Chains A and B, each alone.
Chain A
């Protein structure tokens, strides 16, 4: 039901022109208005919190669809930020929101100061769900200024923000914003890989070389099979991360997030290779997905941060404890 609504909305309001404008750093106010109209920013909240009370699978599908359509606006971040704010008992965002950790920020005399890097669409956000140590703050737009422009590989803005905000409320941090961000990114990656597989199947069925469609070649078929494998892994990885986040298990989030990040790179490489030169251009839609995959796989804690966390848990478990650790993920 929600999935169909999202599909309809994105079909109507997210055409190639809109994608192009987002790529020059232009905010898409009409699209955002539609997203809010649908209530999408509240999609991960329980009914008690004013959300839809979606099942786990439905919420995951909604997040995957954002990836499947290469949604350029920070909808997934806003969904995750609202969930975090609601769980902390803080007011929800009244527009697009960001998620960040800022352990290096200074908290002195009731104010929060310092710079945080690479916040998606930082100029346009209504507020940030910002964690410092064990505290969560809801920092409103008046609490920061943009100090340095930045851009992601898909050319969406990632500015650095100078925070200077008089703390009006704080809450105990329910869970790490990086874990929430890594989890929604895993779902988006799975969705974008679905699009990559569809586009690659379509291209290799219609592109004729040496007198036959590309996909009649066994070597091409085997690459398609590998792409389907990466997609299966990314989809399972996102669900693994989602379930782990719900029970507060950072090792599980790490496992799911890491495998999705890896699938992003592997899958984008296969899809591009199977498209030939056209996949390397802006003339074909594939680049919307590949550049987003390359963006998302490095965000909300990178591969190294999450791999260290999970690897240290494996070392702590030792040879005898390793398997029980794996079955608990």
Chain B
């Protein structure tokens, strides 16, 4: 049997339902004033104020040990908070990467000192992280990484360039994937991860990369003989490849892989509400069925994470099928409603549509391209 198995997903117990209700009320209170256009930024929204409120209310570091400022809740309880945040279009950018992957990586590989100084601050919503993986010549082919860190006494001297780092201009840290020995020809060997303080690293300059929508999320980080304390090494020197693969597993596993365009769905329904003909209902029924099934698969991944199972393959399937769903939604909407999208309008539907059409191409690129994911799935099926 070659099917890739998904375990039964967790169900909403009374406790989980209570959490859902409580968290929806929290979101209403914090964010009720935001416009549809703002909500449609989804996880590209960045608000320190909101992240601090999340931390204060105990919604960050939810599954982490209490000694690190966490709340020792289940993976599914965290899942509920994450999916409700996304469904609400909450501006999660200031805690998103830290809560999802950087914190868990530090729990897994960090020194005691790193754990005690950084994790409680992430859980409070005080620290924002970026991702330090891609380079100009190393996108999908991460092993071709060139950025070099050379040990120099108590320091690493870092030279190289990282790109596509969302919010590097706002964030506090990145986990930098770099080469501590050898050359790019050594592929997985000789790579390491360093915690880089974005606000206090001499030799680091951060420049914006403006996306096609004219927005500034991405940055280029240029390191020129930049000094990073040797105590900021994350995990083992030379073990960077295994560590970064583990980080990517956290990155690919969540419901953010199909909810990016959900605000468009809400606005589409609002526009169609009064219509008499059935064609709208038929189309909405079909896409709703697709969404419900994606959500079920995604919750199965949460169950696997809870049981400490390797969910890499399952996560790749959810991300692949999910990105298709969120990207197709604007075209689905275009079969039902004629409206010219407008990036500067105050009108809900045209404004949301513009933001979604502009951003949708990135959804099958970020976190592993569609082609890379399909390669991972094919390997899981035993084809190579």
Contacts and interface: CB of A to CB of B under 8 A. Distances in A.
A148 interface: no
B114 interface: no
Interface string A301-329: 00110111111101101111011001101
Interface stretch (A10-18, A84-92, A138-146, A215-223): A215-223
Contacts of B373: 225
Given A201-B382, A315-B281, A232 B270 contact: no
A218 B375 CA distance: 8
B231 interface: no
B283 interface: yes
Interface size class of B (residues with CB under 8 A): 35 or more
Nearest to B284: A311
A35 interface: no
In the complex, which of the residues A216, A222, A306, A314 has the most CB atoms of chain B within 10 Å of its own CB atom? A314
Contacts of B12: 327
Contacts of A323: 87-88, 262, 266
Interface stretch (A158-166, A169-177, A254-262): A254-262
Contact of A194 (B3, B83, B290): B3
B289 A322 contact: no
Contacts of A326: 288, 291-292, 295
Is chain B's binding surface mostly helix, strand, loop or mixed? helix
Interface in A211-254: 215-216, 218, 220-222, 224-226, 228-229, 231-233, 235-237, 239-240, 252, 254
A220 B297 CA distance: 24
A315 B8 contact: no
Contacts of B272: 315
Nearest to B259: A323
Interface in B250-274: 262, 265-267, 269-270, 272-273
Given A255-B293, A327-B83, 19 more contacts: A201-B381, A204-B383, A222-B371, A224-B377, A224-B383, A228-B4, A231-B4, A233-B293, A237-B293, A254-B285, A256-B289, A256-B293, A257-B289, A258-B289, A311-B286, A312-B285, A315-B273, A319-B269, A322-B265
Interface of B: 1-4, 6, 8, 12, 20, 83, 87-88, 262, 265-267, 269-270, 272-273, 278, 280-286, 288-297, 300, 314, 317, 320-321, 371, 373-375, 377-378, 380-384
